């Protein structure tokens, strides 16, 4: 079972001691996290690591997931996209399904905790169906820089009942919202199969299992196959880079099952890689493969048009690999231009080609960037940092 | 929101009054149900109806689902089959995954309830990971008449810690188990889309949407497409019946996604129905379609080789349609031979043909059987009866 002790060898005694000390006033306090899935997606991944650690330091933390129907999840997916700026037909029936599902769930969810933490828009209305006895926190992981105004006005109805809103980026703060807002960056868990140290033997075994040869330098992008990730234009960049340095491109990702355009994009990509042995497209979910590929690549690209946070950048940096990434979403918080990779305008193909080529050609720069990247992540984007942020937040909100 | 009041017009004031009265000593008591899925399968269906009603009568009932990995569910599926008598390689790694998943879940599940009800084998070991402060009940919905002995010996390790075991059939009681055992039959909710009254207009609309003509009598079987349901042999019976009475057969079911043999069976069935306009095969999940088909059929078949309980029999009887069913599992509890249908040995094809033909040919018998069937279900297999069973159980176990 995960214990905070296991992180000592990574982050050092001081941080661990600080966490235990900060948690002291919260000992025995009861907290509940509510979100909409145990599996799939970054939020579930973070909670899977974070919640056992919160318990390990002595806080009694529960985790429960909302029971939604298929209709409900179709609607909340639209809400999610609309919060990120897309259009939405906010009909009365959508509102009704959204509310009813939350109300039904509230019937068999008895909350007598000292604090409630609600994640993302799906369980947001829950607060309306309880006699409030404790502070409620809304933790939103969505890019909220430019939400659909009609939906935003509707959701504020619930948000106003919360004691605090937590966002992943200061840029998402809403001036007109009379609720305290603060920012907690996502983080990665260095002990999961995706991020832990793995042996060279396991790396070779994994790469050969997925038919990735290592006789040429590898550049890669590891991202869901959806329209926001710029995957097609990564191929363009690669083709121009290859004229200067012989290398391979690996595109690794999973299908975005909730995105109807996903399979179309994947088919398109399949056709483009067909006659090119140096262009490898892999659609599987395999944490060890991600880990191995991040370690073996010379450069990683993250050519997104939009990102909530883009934690995959930190995952690559953690393995000592430089990243060339778009200056969108949370990527500029992770890439320090010239230090652990480069930040590039997603539309400036020429600069992408130059930057990737430069890193490929300069092994010393690559190694220096790799070291800096790992240290940057260690300081800023590990689960222990986020654990401390949550502890500090709870201490402030529970108001001890 | 569902309320017990809505069942008055179906079951009458006396039953409703009896339920409220029985619940009085339990008012404000806190109970938690733990199972492994909110959706899919009979258990989730029953809990979706039962738990809000338990809350409505004044018991504080929580519902939480176990957070399992894919590996975990693959293993517990094998356990499920082995409890029903199949072979199993009970390796140490299977035991470890089973235990670890339960232990992890226990970390973020704080239980201070007056009673814990654990459903089926998946969350069974949970009891080991808590300091027991209240009675624990294991509610098993599986056919346990002939469990794999090695698995049974292993699971007893956990079962012995429980205060009571609830089974769906007296035949599943285990003499050698020194834990009180009792029996609660499953039940149907007459107010769900699958079972509620629907208009003739909606019936016709639904049937025509799924291209089911009604110009000939319809016989049908409504069951998951898996090896235990005898679906292929239903086609044989139909072909022999059709020589005597012109009719159509509808086979409606969903694919058993967790059964690797499911798609093979479905393909086989597809080939058999191909050139026969009177043989209709439909693989969808649509509650209103099930409802409509159960109402419009002249006879329903349930030709299973094995059944945990086979509640679909009661669902058909509730719509006033006679059922010819195998004398296996819980079917003999639901079909009273000659009164609301016929009980037949699943291998006696000739008798199946005779019984189905008889009901098709005799509209008066059909109508009499239909009336009896509906009354039988009203008395024995409605959710209100099960609610009362649970209330009586809790009262006994909580020991007020």
> Does the CB of A131 have a partner CB in chain B at under 8 Å?
no
> Does the CB of B104 have a partner CB in chain A at under 8 Å?
yes
Q: Which pLDDT belongs to residue B70? A: 82
Pair A18, A123 in one domain: yes
For residue B195, being part of any structural domain is answered with no
> Does the CB of B38 have a partner CB in chain A at under 8 Å?
yes
Contact B307, B329 (CB under 8 A): yes
Token pair in block for residue A249: 């491109």
Q: Which pLDDT belongs to residue A259? A: 61
Query: Which chain A residue has the Cα nearest residue B51?
Result: A108
Alpha-carbon distance of B327 to B337, in angstroms, equals: 10
Alpha-carbon distance of B358 to B326, in angstroms, equals: 17
CB burial readout B184-193, b (16+ within 10 A) else e: bbbbbbbbbe
Contact B75, B94 (CB under 8 A): yes
Kindly report the number of other CB atoms within 10 A of residue A340's CB atom.
26
Q: In Å, how far is A110's CA from the nearest CA of chain B?
A: 6
For residue A90, being part of any structural domain is answered with yes
> What rounded mean pLDDT belongs to chain A?
94
Q: Which pLDDT belongs to residue B272? A: 87
Contact A42, A57 (CB under 8 A): no
- Segment B266-324, tens digit of pLDDT: 888 888 888 788 999 999 889 999 999 999 999 999 999 888 899 999 999 999 999 99
Query: Which chain A residue has the Cα nearest residue B54?
Result: A108
How many CB pairs lie under 8 A apart between chains A and B? Answer: 49
Token pair in block for residue A375: 């240290």
Residue A2 pLDDT grade (very low, low, confident, very high; cuts 50, 70, 90): confident
Q: What is the DSSP letter of B135?
A: -
Q: Which residues contact B174 (CB under 8 A, 6 or more apart)?
A: B144, B181
Token pair in block for residue A204: 């070779």
Q: Which pLDDT belongs to residue B256? A: 58
Alpha-carbon distance of A378 to B34, in angstroms, equals: 38
Q: Do B1 and A104 touch (CB under 8 A)?
A: yes
Provide, as residue numbers in chain A, all residues whose Cβ is less than 8 Å from the Cβ of B109: 62-63
Contact B352, B303 (CB under 8 A): yes
For residue A323, being part of any structural domain is answered with yes
Let me know if A260 is exposed, middle or buried by CB neighbors in 10 A (0-12, 13-18, 19+). exposed
Contact B393, B358 (CB under 8 A): no
Provide, as residue numbers in chain B, all residues whose Cβ is less than 8 Å from the Cβ of A59: none
Token pair in block for residue B273: 């129905």
Q: Do B104 and A52 touch (CB under 8 A)?
A: yes
Query: Which chain A residue has the Cα nearest residue B62?
Result: A108
- In a mutational test of the A interface, the residue from B32, B46, B66, B108 whose CB has the highest number of chain A CBs within 10 Å is B108
For residue A195, being part of any structural domain is answered with no
Nearest to B303 by CA among B271, B325, B328: B325
Query: Which tops the pLDDT comparison, A40 or A9?
Result: A9
Q: Which pLDDT belongs to residue A176? A: 92
Alpha-carbon distance of B220 to B279, in angstroms, equals: 10
Q: Which pLDDT belongs to residue A181? A: 97
Q: Using the predicted structure, report yes or no on whether residue A257 has a pLDDT greater than 60.
A: no
Summarize chain A as % helix, strand, coil (round to 5): 50, 15, 35
Pair B183, B209 in one domain: no
Tokens 């006659």 belong to residue: A275
**Nearest 10 degrees: Cα torsion A156, A161, A163, A168:** -30
Contact A181, A243 (CB under 8 A): no
Q: Which pLDDT belongs to residue B228? A: 82
Residue A31 belongs to what domain range? 4-187+382-397
Query: Which chain B residue has the Cα nearest residue A40?
Result: B69
Alpha-carbon distance of B254 to B144, in angstroms, equals: 24
Alpha-carbon distance of A33 to B102, in angstroms, equals: 19
> Does the CB of A128 have a partner CB in chain B at under 8 Å?
no
For residue A251, being part of any structural domain is answered with yes
For residue B262, being part of any structural domain is answered with yes
Distances (CA, A) of A243 to A53, A194, A230, A247: 49, 32, 21, 9
Q: What is the DSSP letter of A22?
A: H
What percent of chain B stands above pLDDT 90? Answer: 81
> What rounded mean pLDDT belongs to chain B?
94
Pair A173, A205 in one domain: no
Q: Do A108 and B65 touch (CB under 8 A)?
A: no
Residue A307 pLDDT grade (very low, low, confident, very high; cuts 50, 70, 90): confident
Token pair in block for residue B246: 């012109």
Pair B311, B387 in one domain: no
- Segment A75-99, tens digit of pLDDT: 998 998 899 888 999 999 999 999 9
Q: In Å, how far is B286's CA from the nearest CA of chain A?
A: 13
Pair A160, A221 in one domain: no
Q: Would you call A28 helix, strand, or coil by DSSP?
A: coil
- Segment A187-217, tens digit of pLDDT: 999 999 999 999 999 999 999 999 999 999 9
Q: Do B107 and A55 touch (CB under 8 A)?
A: yes
Pair B15, B160 in one domain: yes
Nearest to A381 by CA among A41, A46, A21: A46
Query: Which chain A residue has the Cα nearest residue B57?
Result: A107
Pair B302, B161 in one domain: no
For residue A68, being part of any structural domain is answered with yes
Pair A116, A29 in one domain: yes
Closest residue to A51, CB basis, from B39, B51, B108: B108
Nearest to A272 by CA among A323, A242, A246, A238: A238
Compute CA B131 distance to the chain's CA centroid, rounded to the nearest angstrom. Answer: 33
Q: What is the interface pTM, i.e. ipTM, of the complex? A: 0.89
Q: Using the predicted structure, report yes or no on whether residue A258 has a pLDDT greater than 90.
A: no
- Segment A346-396, tens digit of pLDDT: 999 999 999 999 999 999 999 999 999 999 999 999 999 999 999 999 999
Q: Which residues contact B239 (CB under 8 A, 6 or more apart)?
A: none
Whole-prediction pTM: 0.91
Q: Which pLDDT belongs to residue A249? A: 97
Q: Which pLDDT belongs to residue B39? A: 67
For residue A193, being part of any structural domain is answered with no
Pair B128, B240 in one domain: no
Domain at B263, CATH number: 3.40.50.2000
Pair A156, A206 in one domain: no
Q: Using the predicted structure, report yes or no on whether residue A273 has a pLDDT greater than 60.
A: yes
Token pair in block for residue A36: 């909409």
> Does the CB of A58 have a partner CB in chain B at under 8 Å?
no
Q: How many domains does chain A have?
A: 2
Closest residue to A103, CB basis, from B1, B38, B62: B1
Q: What is the DSSP letter of A6?
A: G
DSSP calls for B280-331: EEEE---HHHHHHHHHH-SEEEE--S--S--THHHHHHHTT--EEEESSTTH
Beta-bridged to residue B119, according to DSSP, are B139
Mean pLDDT for back-to-back runs of 10 residues, chain B (400 residues): 91 97 96 85 90 97 91 90 91 97 96 97 97 96 90 97 95 94 96 97 97 96 88 95 97 73 82 88 93 98 91 97 95 97 97 98 97 98 98 90
Q: Which pLDDT belongs to residue A40? A: 63
> Does the CB of B50 have a partner CB in chain A at under 8 Å?
no
Q: Which pLDDT belongs to residue B105? A: 96
Q: Which residues contact B145 (CB under 8 A, 6 or more apart)?
A: B85, B169, B171, B172
Alpha-carbon distance of A134 to A204, in angstroms, equals: 52
Let me know if A70 is exposed, middle or buried by CB neighbors in 10 A (0-12, 13-18, 19+). exposed
Contact A275, A287 (CB under 8 A): no
> Does the CB of A60 have a partner CB in chain B at under 8 Å?
yes
Tokens 């049908």 belong to residue: B220
Pair B50, B145 in one domain: yes
Q: B202-205: long-range contacts at Cβ-Cβ below 8 A with a sequence spacing of 24 or more?
A: B202/B288, B202/B292, B203/B292, B203/B295, B203/B296
Q: Using the predicted structure, report yes or no on whether residue A282 has a pLDDT greater than 90.
A: yes
Q: A49-52: long-range contacts at Cβ-Cβ below 8 A with a sequence spacing of 24 or more?
A: A49/A2, A49/A189, A49/A191, A49/A192, A49/A383, A50/A383, A50/A386, A50/A387, A50/A390, A51/B107, A51/B108, A52/A1, A52/A2, A52/B104, A52/B107, A52/B108
Pair B20, B169 in one domain: yes
Token pair in block for residue B36: 């492994």
A250: enclosing H helix or E strand: strand A248-253
């Amino acid at each position: 079972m995960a214990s905070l002790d296991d992180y000592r060898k990574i982050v050092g005694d001081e941080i661990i001691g600080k966490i235990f000390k900060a948690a002291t006033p919260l000992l025995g306090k009861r907290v509940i996290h509510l979100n909409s899935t145990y599996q799939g997606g970054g939020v579930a991944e973070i909670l899977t690591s974070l919640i056992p650690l919160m318990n390990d330091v002595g806080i009694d933390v529960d985790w429960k997931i909302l029971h939604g129907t298929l209709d409900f999840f179709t609607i909340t997916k639209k809400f999610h996209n609309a919060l990120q700026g897309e259009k939405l037909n906010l009909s009365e029936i959508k509102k009704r399904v959204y509310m009813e599902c939350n109300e039904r769930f509230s019937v068999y969810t008895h909350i007598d905790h000292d604090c409630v933490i609600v994640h993302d828009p799906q369980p947001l209305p829950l607060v309306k169906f309880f006699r409030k006895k404790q502070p409620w926190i809304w933790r939103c992981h969505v890019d909220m820089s430019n939400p659909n105004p009609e939906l935003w006005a509707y959701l504020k109805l619930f948000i106003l009942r919360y004691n605090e809103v937590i966002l992943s980026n200061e840029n998402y703060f809403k001036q007109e919202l009379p609720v305290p807002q603060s920012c907690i960056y996502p983080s990665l868990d260095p002990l999961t199969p995706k991020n832990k140290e793995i042996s060279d033997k396991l790396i070779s075994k994994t790469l050969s299992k997925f038919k990735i040869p290592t006789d040429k330098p590898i550049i890669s992008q590891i991202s869901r196959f959806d329209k926001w990730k710029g995957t097609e234009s990564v191929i363009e960049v690669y083709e121009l880079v290859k004229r200067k340095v012989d290398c391979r491109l690996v595109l690794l990702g999973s299908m975005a099952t909730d995105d109807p355009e996903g399979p179309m994009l994947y088919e398109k990509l399949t056709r483009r890689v067909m006659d090119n042995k140096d262009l490898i497209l892999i659609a599987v979910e395999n944490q060890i493969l991600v880990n191995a590929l991040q370690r073996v690549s010379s450069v990683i690209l993250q050519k997104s048009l939009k990102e909530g946070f883009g934690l995959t950048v930190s995952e690559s940096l953690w393995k000592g690999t430089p990243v060339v990434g778009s200056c969108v979403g949370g990527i500029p918080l992770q890439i320090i231009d010239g230090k652990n990779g480069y930040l590039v305008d997603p539309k400036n193909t020429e600069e992408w080609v130059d930057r990737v080529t430069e890193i490929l050609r300069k092994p010393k720069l690559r190694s220096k960037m790799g070291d800096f990247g790992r240290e940057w992540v260690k300081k800023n984007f590990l689960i222990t940092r986020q654990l401390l942020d949550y502890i500090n937040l709870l201490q402030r909100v529970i108001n001890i």
